[in-house]
């Protein structure tokens, strides 16, 4: 039976972290299936979904990762996925991308995330960034979501128009194009 683990790690950004972690997975015949890795100011964060071979346990992998994490100053956590979690698919949902841009102020992420949750829209990826503007810091947000149907997408689009005015931001909400890696 297939075994998968979710591993997250964070530490001071420095060249070589990805090489060091991926070497551990390679040496243990593990497959790095899905990943998200990013630098946040001076930190580097990773979120990984790893498949283990038949002859390895999650505890084997934990023991192999620990010295690497210690050497690189990473704090990590790992958990085994249940069979039900491994089978989860986003079937029946529509992929959309939400882009928001405007003057930075508290509450932008909360208000958008709350509106999405109210419509049972699942946020699958969220990236934000603050940059220096001429008069004030500028905030940008890109959110990838799974919408449970066209009617929900339309209703959410209407809510976004109201939020756009309240939050004083520019908003774009569009069906995602098929992507190829």
Q: What is the pLDDT of residues 7-38, one digit of tens each?
A: 999 999 999 999 999 999 999 999 999 999 99
Same domain membership, residue 81 and residue 101: no
Domain membership of residue 119 as a residue range: 94-175
Please indicate, yes or no, if residue 78 is contained in any of the structural domains.
yes
Which spans in 51-149 are helix H?
A: 58-72, 83-87, 108-118
> Is 109:126 a contact under the CB 8 Å cutoff?
yes
pLDDT at res. 180: 42
**How does pLDDT run across 126-164, given as a tens digit for each residue?**
999 999 878 899 999 999 999 999 999 999 999 999 999
Is-contact 179 124, C-beta < 8 A?
A: no
Whichever domain contains 44, its CATH number is 3.30.70.260
Q: Nearest-CA neighbor of 115 among 102, 138, 98, 140? A: 98
Hey, how many other C-beta atoms are within 10 angstroms of the C-beta on 154? 10
Each residue's pLDDT tens digit, 47-90? 999 999 999 999 999 999 999 999 999 999 999 999 888 876 65
């Amino acid at each position: 039976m297939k075994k998968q683990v979710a591993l997250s790690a964070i530490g001071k950004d420095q060249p070589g972290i990805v090489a060091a972690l991926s070497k551990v997975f390679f040496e243990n015949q593990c497959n790095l299936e899905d990943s998200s890795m990013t630098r946040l100011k001076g930190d580097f964060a990773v979120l990984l979904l790893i498949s283990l071979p038949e002859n390895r346990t999650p505890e084997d992998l934990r023991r192999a990762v620990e010295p690497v994490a210690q050497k690189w100053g990473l704090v990590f956590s790992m958990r085994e996925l249940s069979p039900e979690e491994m089978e989860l698919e986003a079937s029946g949902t529509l992929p959309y991308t939400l882009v928001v841009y405007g003057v930075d102020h508290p509450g932008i992420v909360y208000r958008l995330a709350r509106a999405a949750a109210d419509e049972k829209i699942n946020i699958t990826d969220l990236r934000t960034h603050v940059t220096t503007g001429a008069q004030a810091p500028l905030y940008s947000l890109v959110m990838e979501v799974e919408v449970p149907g066209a009617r929900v997408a339309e209703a959410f689009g209407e809510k976004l128009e109201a939020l756009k005015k309240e939050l004083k931001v520019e908003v774009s909400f569009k069906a995602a194009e098929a992507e190829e890696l």
